[in-house]
Structure formats: structure tokens, C-alpha cells
Structure 1
Amino acid sequence: MDSIWSSLALLIPFLISLIVFLILLEQISYLRKRRTIPGPLLVFPFLGNAISLVRNPTNFWDLQASFAKSSSLGISANYVIGRFIVFIRSSDLSHKVFANVRPDAFHLIGHPFGKKLFGEHNLIYMMGHDHKDLRRRIAPNFTPKALSTYIYLQQKIIFEHLKRWESLCSSNRSKPIALRLLCRDMNLETSQTVFVGPYLSAEARENFNRDYTLFNAGLMKLPIDLPGFGFWKARFAVKRLCETLAVCAGQSKAKMMKGQEPSCLVDFWMQETVKEINAAAESGEKAPFSDDIEIGGHLFDFLFAAQDASTSSLLWAVTLLDSHPQVLQKVREEVSAIWTPESGALITAEQLREMKYTEAVAREVVRFRPPATLVPHIAGEDFALSETYTIPKGTIVFPSVFESSFQGFAEPERFDPDRFSEERKEDKLYRRNFLAFGSGAHQCVGQRYAINHLVLFIAMFTSLIDFKRHRTHGCDDISYVPTICPKDDCLVYLSSRCANCPSFM
């Protein structure tokens, strides 16, 4: 026994020396990669600044932005769990990343540990010909005919949820209610209904909602892939979600083979897929991108993109309309001249196109508070970002959509929907700074759907509801959940402004 303790006593100094050496090596590696760009002078061993990122992401990214402002290049550095990261504030440099001029220069990852969480199926990880080919096949999902079909589904769900919110506020004895989770639930139902509506049973929706909550929680956790941890639970929740959506794709495919009319997004997709399957069968081949599991994975990509980003935009729309009553008044005047809930009819695609100012408000909401503030990529090779700095291979690069939104535009810190008017056309003049929907090959394919949803919500919410924010100190500060939302979860008082509204059902 004494000999064992003696051996351990001799081993301990060696282990301590090894740990100290590894820590020193890590610091040297970080400093060598950081070179002259601003960032923390030293980083916590092995974890880097992961704890501060998880505990308070708002402060973490604000600090990175302040570092970048002090840099002539508009970039800054940090270190998180063995990964060197570069934050990009400059719009021009962000475009270099989005453009991905060489196939292996940058790979969009969506989340610092996204591949492990989302799986290999994800559309955002695809590059080159396969990516272009799949986007071409997705295009029928967002034609004017398809979007018109979605508009009616979106409105019915919005209306039913607005009624519930108003009733909840009434039964709450005029206390404010928090809209964040209510908006999330509304958007989850909207996404499910628009994307795979008739193929999800009530039980499947309940399981779906539970798994999506686990996934959402895991996005903000440390990537500890062990049983019981949030990240591990999220990874398996994604697997179950994709399997559920794969079943929906198979059922839709069977329906489209019978020549029936599409009633949701997956139907429009499968309508074209069935044509390719039939054409390929004649030559004895298998149609590409026709596997149900693969399609289910891509459907999850759509749902994720639509769900959290949309929730963020709806919350900021309510917040910004409340703090800008003159904008709210102009919205109500425009909408009432085109559509009223008392008509008993839903907003048509033609009426939606007439709501020019309301759409300008929606676009300004997205510019002023872009939901996904950062679009992480990984450097596939050493990349010369400028003449003075080369991003090392393996670096996680964070182009900041948020920072770009406040560059170039006239008085960018002011919420001003008129900047998107036909007279001022700032959306065209400063297009390079409006990156809320990304840029390059991976630019959001569903941005028209997203804008339609926001315009419909604003039009119906302002027509059906009188609302007032419950304002407290810091209530409008930015909170990451993981997209951004008001710090207080958007506390509001609601009351009906439409006493005899029909149900639209």
C-alpha cells in the first residue's frame, strides 16, 4: 500500500507539470491565432469563455462587438471549448464569408456545435452542386400559388391564437401577459400546419411540441453529449422530429401520386418529387433527394428556420409598434382601408400586396432587430480575410448580421419604416448591409414566406387587438433565447378592438 502511495506521490508533480504545459500551449496557440486583432488577452483553460457565453450571451457578444469596433478591420477574437472564434462586424468582410468564393473556404454551420446537434442531413451543411440542385427542387414550395395557399392557413391560426391571448388577458384580471411563449406556440402550430398540416395527428403534434421544446433548450446548453444533459436530450429530440416529418413526407408522396391538389408545403414539394420519381423509374434509376428520411431532415431545417426567427420578429414588432404610436396609427389606417375583420373574409394575396407601408414596417423590424444576429461558419482552410489577417483553418467565424444592420442606413439607430419606401429605397441603396436573410448561396429561400407571416400578423394584431406594453427598466433590452427577444419576454396588456369579429373558420 505504501508503495502505491509513493508511486502516486511521484506521479502527481508530473501530472501537474503536464497540465501546466497544456495550459501554456493552449494560451500560446490562442495568442498566435489572434495575432494583432483585439480580444481577451488570456482565456480560461480548456473551456475558454464558454461559461460566460452560456450564462449571458448578450454581454458576451456586446463585448465582442466593442472589441471589433476598436479594430481597423472590424473584427475581434475569442476562444470557446477548444475552438478559436472570430467575430466580424464589417459588412464587406461578412460578404466575403457569405460568398464562399472557394468550395472549402467556409462552411455554414448555423450553431457552434450544430453538426452534432442537427445531424449531417441539414441543408445548411450542403455545398456546391448538390446544394444548388436541392434548392432548385425546393423552389416550388415558394411560388405565388404556394404562398397564397399558406396565407390562408397562417391567418386562421393567427386569429385563433389572438382570441386566446385576449381571453387570457381578460381572465388574468388585467395583469400583463408575456407573449414570448405564446408567440412560440402560435408559430409552432403555424409551421406544422403550413409545412405538413394534414399529416400530423393531435398526438403527433403533442409529441412534436415536447421534442421541439427539448431541442430549443439544448441550443443554449454546453455541448455535453452525455445522458441526462440538455444537449444530449436535444440531439435525440431532433432525431425523433426528423423521423416524424419523414412519415409526413411519405404520406404526402402517396397523396400526390394520386394526383390530388397540394394543401401544404410538403405537398408542393412532393408534387414535383413524384414527377421525378416517375421519370427516373422509366429509366430504372432512383430520383435524387426523394428519400423520406432525407426529406424529413430538410423539413426540420425549414421548421427551425421559420419557428424561432419568426417568434423573435413578432415580439419586436409588438414592442416597436407600442413605442412608436405614429407608426402604429399609419399601419391601422392602411390596413383598414384595404381589409377589415368585420368583413368576415380573410386577407387575400392581392390585399397583402397592397399593404406597402405595413410591409415596410415588417422589413424595418427585421433590420432593426434581426432575429438570428450571427451566422456562424467554419473556415475549411486558411483564408486571407484581408491583407493583414488570415483566418486559420478550423476557426469558427461569426459574421454579425446585427452589426451590419446599423451600418450605412440613414440614422440607423432610429426605427424608421419609411426608409423602405419607394421614394427612399434604402433597402436597395444599402442592400449589402441588410443581411437578416443572409447572402450568397445559402441566402434564406423562404424569406418571402417569412415577410408574409410578419405582415399578416401585424395587420391582424393591430386590427383585432388594443395593446400596451408593461414597461419596466430594461424591458426592451436584448435577450438571447437563442434568437433575440425583449428581456421581459414582451409583457403586454391586451383587449379586443373588434366586438363582433367572425371566426374565419
Structure 2
Amino acid sequence: MAAESLSGFLDIRAAAPFLVAAMAFYFLVEQLSYHRKKGPLPGPPLVVPFLGSVAHMIRDPAGYWDGQAARAKKSGAGLAADFLVGRFIVFIRDSELSQRVFANVRPDAFHLIGHPFGKKLFGEHNLIYMFGEDHKDLRRRIAPNFTPRALSTYAALQQRVILAHLRRWLDRSAAEGGRAFPIRVPCRDMNLETSQTVFVGPYLTGEARRRFERDYNLFNVGLMALPVDLPGFAFRRARQGVARLVRTLGECARESKARMRAGGEPECLVDYWMQDTLREIEEAASAGRPPPAHTDDEEIGGFMFDFLFAAQDASTSSLCWAVSALDSHPDVLARVRAEVAAVWSPESGEPITAEKIQAMRYTQAVAREVVRHRPPATLVPHIAGEAFRLTEWYTVPKGAIVFPSVYESSFQGFPEAEKFDPERFFSESRREDVAFKRNFLAFGAGPHQCVGQRYALNHLVLFMALFVSVVDFRRERSPGCDDPVYMPTIVPKDGCAVRLTQRRAKLPSF
């Protein structure tokens, strides 16, 4: 046994120089490949083999991306390079270069991925991965989901959920003796219930909603984890959770089709979608053609998951920043309260109608400024399907992941961009939403611009209108409390801790 052990030890010692040489060769090839792709872009001179800067990105996302922005700005190039988990990346700070990426989503240019490892996480059947006529056709079919009539239906549902959660927040505050508590998680829970209710409301049982919440939480955790697709890792659990969520949403689509076929009136988003889809299916059947593309139940479930992802965490971010901004700017809060009170009273017993939402022009301007000042999805990752000449002096190599920074664009062009100023979107003389439209990229641009942006802004307007009408609040401020942190969208570092008291003797009920 001793002889065998000695022999094995000697074999290892003999192989060690070759292993060291192989590792050195791999390191050299990786560094040379990185520098060839980086070209004139600013970036680290050496990168950690395979992992690159991923540890820094996961440990301190805000600091990592701030560093990329600083490099891009200091160099004057508007671009910076780095290396993450075996992938070369390009950070884009310049608004016009970001616009070029958004405008060139096609098979031979950029592919929107939503997350550096999005296809593994979200699955292949997703709206964000589609191109050309197929993508246009699906967006056309989705359009009935966001008509004024549909948005009016959703507004009533949104308000019921918001008010139910505000009651819970006030009860919690009273039970805890009026102490401040962070509202990020309560906002997230409220938004998840809102999304469930608006998207597939009548088709989810109580138990299905609880399973839905557990699976969505697994997805959220996996979104920020190392992309290790092995049993026991958060990324694998997230993938499995997404698969279950898509199946659940597909079953909701199936039930909606049955109810719409029976002549039911639309009560939620999937009903508006299926009502029009059934018409197209029946027209195809009458003409002897197969069903139109993208009308399969589970495939629709995948598309609805895309809506859910887009609405959930982005909205949580915006609600937290809205509360923080209203607290920081008493003059803005007073104007919002006065405008809401002029068109709607909690004592009316009626929800805020679509017409009244349109009348709240200043509150809408506040919502747009919240989204500009703190765009929730700060980065919109794309992958280069082919080499793409982004500037006269730099070509993005095939396979590179590019990160257009919506956050950086929001602070370019606008006068006093660091200042929270809703007047920039309210004043007829300023019209900054028009003058600096190419820098307002919170909802993206080009063929993949957010299809539900009107719904998202309505949700923020409705929340602010109800919140300021029924709640008195005070932000509990501490050093650095409003520093942005990634959860996965940006939120205040302290989770937006506030003290809440009931503003009226009785909360509205409808």
C-alpha cells in the first residue's frame, strides 16, 4: 500500500508541471482574447480567469456598475469593457449608442436577453427573444390588452388591491406603536397580488396564489445568484420555479379561453387577450388553416410571465422611490394631494375612473419624474448575435453582452438632471419629455419598447393618489438610506422605512 501511495504521489508530482503549464496557457489565451475584443475601450488590464469581475458585481452591484459608468465617462468614449463568467461585456453609457442597440434588435445584430443568463432562466418561449414579423405579429395580438377600455378595467382592480394592502400597512403600524418599517417587501407583496389579480384574477385559487408567491420568490432569489444550474443551487431552483409559474399561467389561459368562448365579459388581462385570440383561431379554422402562431396555452403562459417579470419588481422600485420623493419634497406632496382632492374623494365610495386619472396631469408628471430620476431597470442587457459596428472606431464582437444603461441616459441632456423636478414633464413651456425624449429610456426604445408602459404609469399614479389621500407618512431617514441597491431593480438602501398613520376616520371601500 505504501508503495502504491508513493507511486501515485510521484505521478502527481510528474504531472504538476504540465497542469501548471496548461493553466498558464489558458490564462494567456483568455487575456489575449479579452484584450483583442476590448480594443481601445477602457477596462481592467487583467481579468480573473473565467470568473472575471462577477464576485464584485454580486457583492456590490451598485458599486460595480457605478465603476463601469465612471470608466466610460472618464474615457470620453461612452463605453467600457469587462469580463463576467466567461463572457466579454460592453457597458454603454451614451444615450445615442444605447438607442443604436435598441433600434437594431434582429438576428444579425443585437438580441434582447433581459438577464445575462436569461434564456436559461426564463425559457426559450418569451416575448423578449422574438424578432421581426413574428415579434410584430405577437405585439399586435397583445395590443387589446392595453386599450383604454382594458386599462379602465384594470384600474378598478388595482385600486381594490392597493387599498387592501394600505389597510394592512396601517394595521401593522398601529400594532407596532407607530414605529417606522421598510415598505419594500410590502410593496412587492402588493404588486405581486396586483399582477395576479389584473393578469389572471378569477383563474387563481387561494392555494394557487400561495404556490405562485413561493415560486416567484425562488425566481427573484435566483435572479441575483451565481448562474450554477445544478441541484441545490438557487439558480436551478429559480429555473424550476419559472417552469411551474409558466404552467400555472398557461392553465389560466386555457380557462379564460373556455369562459370567453362561452360569452363571458373580460374581467382581467388574459380575458382581453383570449377574446381576440379566439376570434383569430375561429377565423383560421373556418378558412381551413391551422391555429395562428403563439396561441398555445403554455406558450401564452410564458408570455404572461414576461409581463409579470416586467411589472413586478420594476413597480416595487418605483413605488418606493415615489414615497421617498414625496416625503423629501413637501411642495410636490401638497400639489399631488390638492390635485387628487379636486377630482376624487375617498368618501365618494367610487374608485378613481380612467377619466379622473387623465385629469391628474401633475400627478402623472410626478410619476414620470420618479421613473426618470430612478429608472427601476437600470440596465437592459443584449447579446451581439453578429459583430456590430457600434461606432466608427469600435465594433462589438460577436457573442459579447452589451449593457445599455438606462440609468445613465436619464441624467444626460435634462437640465439639472440630479434634481427631482416634476415640472420638467408638466410645464407646457419646458416639455422636456419631448426635448429630451431620446434620453428618457426607462421603458426602452425601438421594437421592444415596453408594451405595458401606460399600465405601469397608471399603477404608479393610482398608488400615489390613494396613498396621499388616506395615509399621513414620514420617512425615517438615516445616513445613506436613499442610496440605490439592487433587489434586483434599484430600491432605497433602507427599504424605504416610513412611519404611517391613518389620515381619515374611515378608509374608502368599493
TM-score range, shorter chain: over 0.9
Structure 2 residue aligned with 1:72: 76
Q: Is residue 392 of structure 1 aligned with residue 411 of structure 2?
A: no
User: Which string of whole-angstrom CA distances, capped at 9 and with x for unpartnered residues, describes residues 361-408 of structure 1?
Assistant: 000000000000000000111111111111111000000000000011
Match of 2:420 among 415, 421, 428: 415
Structure 1 residue aligned with 2:317: 312
User: Displacement, 1:289?
Assistant: 1.4
What value does the CA root-mean-square deviation take over the aligned residues? 0.9
Report the AA paired with residue 352 of structure 1. I
Q: Is residue 497 of structure 1 aligned with residue 496 of structure 2?
A: no
Q: Is residue 354 of structure 1 aligned with residue 359 of structure 2?
A: yes
Structure 1 residue aligned with 2:329: 324
Structure 1 residue aligned with 2:184: 180
CA–CA distance in structure 1, aligned partners of residues 366 and 503 of structure 2: 21
1:45-60 mapped onto 2 (5 Å cutoff):
45-60=49-64
CA–CA distance in structure 1, aligned partners of residues 319 and 387 of structure 2: 39
Contact 1:38 1:70 in 2 (8 A): no
Match of 2:436 among 430, 439, 460: 430
SS in 2 for 1:375: coil
Structure 1 residue aligned with 2:39: 35
Report the AA paired with residue 112 of structure 1. P
User: Displacement, 1:24?
Assistant: 1.5
CA–CA distance in structure 2, aligned partners of residues 248 and 70 of structure 1: 51
User: Displacement, 1:13?
Assistant: 1.1
User: Which string of whole-angstrom CA distances, capped at 9 and with x for unpartnered residues, describes residues 7-49 of structure 1?
Assistant: 2221111011101110111111111111211111111121000
Match of 1:216 among 220, 225, 233: 220
Structure 1 residue aligned with 2:231: 227
Report the AA paired with residue 203 of structure 2. Y
CA–CA distance in structure 2, aligned partners of residues 292 and 301 of structure 1: 15
Q: Is residue 248 of structure 1 aligned with residue 252 of structure 2?
A: yes
SS in 2 for 1:237: helix
Structure 1 residue aligned with 2:490: 484
Q: Is residue 88 of structure 1 aligned with residue 96 of structure 2?
A: no
Structure 1 residue aligned with 2:462: 456
User: Displacement, 1:102?
Assistant: 5.4
CA–CA distance in structure 1, aligned partners of residues 23 and 296 of structure 2: 48
1:70-149 mapped onto 2 (5 Å cutoff):
70-100=74-104, 103-149=107-153
User: Displacement, 1:288?
Assistant: 1.9
1:260-339 mapped onto 2 (5 Å cutoff):
260-284=264-288, 285-339=290-344
Q: Is residue 257 of structure 1 aligned with residue 261 of structure 2?
A: yes
Report the AA paired with residue 496 of structure 1. Q
Report the AA paired with residue 380 of structure 2. V
Report the AA paired with residue 317 of structure 1. A
User: Which string of whole-angstrom CA distances, capped at 9 and with x for unpartnered residues, describes residues 411-448 of structure 1?
Assistant: 11100000002331100110000000000000000000
Q: Which runs of 5+ in 2 are unaligned?
A: none
Q: Is residue 440 of structure 1 aligned with residue 452 of structure 2?
A: no
Q: Which runs of 5+ in 1 are unaligned?
A: none
User: Displacement, 1:152?
Assistant: 0.1
Contact 1:339 1:351 in 2 (8 A): yes
SS in 1 for 2:485: strand
Match of 1:402 among 390, 407, 430: 407
CA–CA distance in structure 2, aligned partners of residues 493 and 223 of structure 1: 38
Report the AA paired with residue 430 of structure 1. F
CA–CA distance in structure 2, aligned partners of residues 454 and 4 of structure 1: 67
SS in 1 for 2:75: coil
Contact 2:105 2:112 in 1 (8 A): no
Q: Is residue 473 of structure 1 aligned with residue 482 of structure 2?
A: no
Report the AA paired with residue 445 of structure 2. S
Contact 1:84 1:396 in 2 (8 A): yes
SS in 2 for 1:70: helix
Report the AA paired with residue 14 of structure 2. L
Report the AA paired with residue 252 of structure 1. S
User: Displacement, 1:206?
Assistant: 0.2
SS in 2 for 1:168: helix
Match of 1:158 among 149, 158, 162: 162
CA–CA distance in structure 2, aligned partners of residues 142 and 373 of structure 1: 24
User: Which TM-score applies when normalising by structure 2?
Assistant: 0.98
Structure 2 residue aligned with 1:342: 347
